Amino acid sequence: MADHAKTAAGVLAGVGGENNVHSLVHCATRLRFVLKDEGKADATAIRAVPGVITTAQAGGQYQVVIGNDVPDVYAAIQSQTKLGGAGSDGADEGPKGNLFNRFIKMISAIFTPILWALAGTGLLKAFLAAAVTFGWIDATTTTYTILNALSDALINFLPMALAITAARYFKASEFTSFAIAGALVYPTITALNGQPDITFFGIPVTMVSYVSSVIPIIVIVWLQSYAERFLLKVLPGAVRRFLTPMIVVFVAVPLVFLAIGPLSSLIGGGLATAIGWVFQTVPWLGGAIMGGLWRVFVIFGLHWGLVPLFQLELQTTGQMLLLGPVFAAVLAQAAAVAGVLVRTRNRNLRSLAAPATLSGFLAGITEPAIYGINLPLKRPFAFGIVGGALGGAIIAMGGVFSTAFVVPSGLALTALLGNGNMLMLGIGLAVAILVPFLLVVLVGFTDPVDSTAPAATAATDTVVLNPVDGTVVALGEVPDAAFADGSLGQGVAIRPTSGAVYAPFDATVVAAFPTGHAIGLRGVDGVELLIHVGLDTVKLGGEHFSLKVSSGQEVKAGDLLLEFDGDAIERAGYDLITPVIVTNGDLYPDVADVASGPLSHGEPLFRAVSVDTLTSAR
């Protein structure tokens, strides 16, 4: 069972500790940090933490990709720190970045907390629509009325949900924002939509629908945050607490009705019209872009900029043409990793590909597939893009759309049933799945490790030889919490007296970092070892390091792995202490026979104790 607390501790240490974190939220698969100083984050250390897939920097955020277990790791971080609370993601915290990054950060922070509830109720609505289409439920019954209400309520009252998340982001009063949003969707106000001769103190009002709207509430809460700060500063202390919300609501709601609402309706209508024009005039182009590039957008965090467009299109036209081709993008990457599952002869890769295929097809969670398999192997990811583009183009040419916001996946396909040309949908999905699958199987890729790689269970202990001349130091004495507390694995540290690192056993190089400051090895018995030369030395960008091996290379005990200039590294202000740790603690949870004092390379350093040994000892 995954140790979420250990993963949380390792990630926190890797990003520079709680004090280096301005804010933290999570989405479907990632922890999204805004750091005070991204230079303090050690991507190598974070990626070595059990449970972490990879890291990325996009949209002004430092992202740690976890996969399906991200809510559990996020909860573990909350239990260990004060991070992740309601007020932890303020807009005024952390480095601002450029305007685009700030926009992406804002959209991410506002939509992330409600995304799963929105997707879950949207999926329920899709199932309900399918049930009516196939005659399983009569739309005239009270059963349908109840199910429709519980599946439609969140999207109907979306401004009220966004009021809370926007208030947290902009540091405004949540319940004042809630009151403003409530007025926008109040039944008597909703009934005025489209009616003539509406005035407010004699001022003509063009009433538009605020049901399911996005832009008006975000804009007005942003303005609310400034108004509140001003009023709380200038009003007398005896009355500011109740006069501030009264004034804000009294001014904000009419401002929306008079200006913000009509303007946003005009903008939203224009965007929806533009989207409709593309999908009607050159549908294959729009579908190919969404189907081919969606997962690329996700990698760089750019997809958050498109999420409001889905909702604007739905609010304006009652349908989402943009969403159909995204199904092709998601299923294409799942199909690519399924091809890897069939093609690879590597048992470790196959063990990763099986669950990644399942989560990709059923739940639409493709980060484990992309970051763990498709991207590192390159060709499967490219083939997935090709399949997604072709499938997306065909789906768009069929005019396929969704009437509910769902996370594209196999389970969510009901959202598309009956909406557009179903034959084209079937052909598009078949192409999106078969093309990358067949390309991966027939064209192939380079397996990172051959079929003789060790099985996923430890059988024997492994003696780890000292990789670098120096003095042995207890791991707990390393001045870096990620190593010292064992979060990243058990082992020791060496204070080097020479500038060369040698292989501590027969192994495969699984990670030869371009910066040269660290090497990851997998021994013939299955033990995985990280040799990390110095602390924070990744910041040197490879200066003073010289790699002698590459990823995938087989090495023998005593082979030279890398060279470094220790004096130059220390003059640059870096601690040269070198942790040597076992990173697959699930199979090798302990070390024994640890050496001490001065030690030459090639001498026994410690014994990595397998889980089998510990079990038999009991």
Whether 22 is catalytic: no
* Pair 164, 177: CB distance under 8 Å: yes
> Quick one: average pLDDT of 473-499?
85
* Pair 154, 114: CB distance under 8 Å: yes
Q: pLDDT value at position 104?
A: 65
Name the nearest CA neighbour of 409 among 119, 102, 607, 25.
119
Task: Quick: pLDDT tens for 359-403.
Answer: 778 767 676 677 668 877 888 999 999 999 999 999 999 999 988
Tokens of 437: 């699958």
Residue 308 has pLDDT above 80, yes or no: no
Q: pLDDT value at position 230?
A: 92
**pTM (predicted TM-score):** 0.54
Tokens of 568: 């130059």
Of the pLDDT bands very low, low, confident and very high (cuts 50, 70, 90), residue 176 is very high
List C-alpha distances in Å: 357 to 137, 297, 352, 363, 594: 33, 21, 9, 10, 41
Most confident of 311-315, 487-491, 549-553, 558-562: 558-562
Helix, strand, coil shares of the chain as percentages rounded to 5? 50, 15, 35
* Pair 311, 395: CB distance under 8 Å: no
Q: pLDDT value at position 85?
A: 54
Of the pLDDT bands very low, low, confident and very high (cuts 50, 70, 90), residue 452 is very low
- As a whole number of angstroms, the longest Cα–Cα distance in the chain is 91
Task: Quick: pLDDT tens for 563-577.
Answer: 999 999 999 888 999
Task: Quick: pLDDT tens for 177-187.
Answer: 999 999 998 99
User: How many alpha carbons fall within 13 Å on the CB side of residue 330?
Assistant: 22
Tokens of 602: 């090639």
Residue 90 has pLDDT above 50, yes or no: no
Tokens of 164: 């809370």
* Pair 88, 81: CB distance under 8 Å: no
Pairing relation of β-strands 54-58 and 554-555? unpaired
> Quick one: average pLDDT of 596-610?
90
| Number of helical (H) and strand (E) elements in the chain, helices listed first | 22, 20
Cβ neighbours of residue 250 under 8 Å, at least 6 residues apart?
none
Helix 307-317, helix 99-133: angle, nearest 10: 50
As a whole number of angstroms, the distance between CA 247 and CA 249 comes to 6
Whether 27 is catalytic: yes
Q: List the catalytic residue out of 4, 26, 27, 517.
A: 27
Q: Which of 465-474, 482-491, 513-522 has the lowest mean pLDDT?
A: 482-491
Residue 531 has pLDDT above 90, yes or no: yes
Residue 86 has pLDDT above 50, yes or no: no
Q: List the catalytic residue out of 4, 303, 517, 532.
A: 532
Q: Which of 42-46, 124-128, 295-299 has the lowest mean pLDDT?
A: 295-299
Q: pLDDT value at position 276?
A: 72
Rounded mean pLDDT of the chain?
83
Task: Quick: pLDDT tens for 342-366.
Answer: 988 877 678 778 877 887 787 676 7
Of the pLDDT bands very low, low, confident and very high (cuts 50, 70, 90), residue 455 is very low
* Pair 281, 233: CB distance under 8 Å: no
Q: pLDDT value at position 279?
A: 82
* Pair 328, 429: CB distance under 8 Å: yes
> Quick one: average pLDDT of 47-56?
81
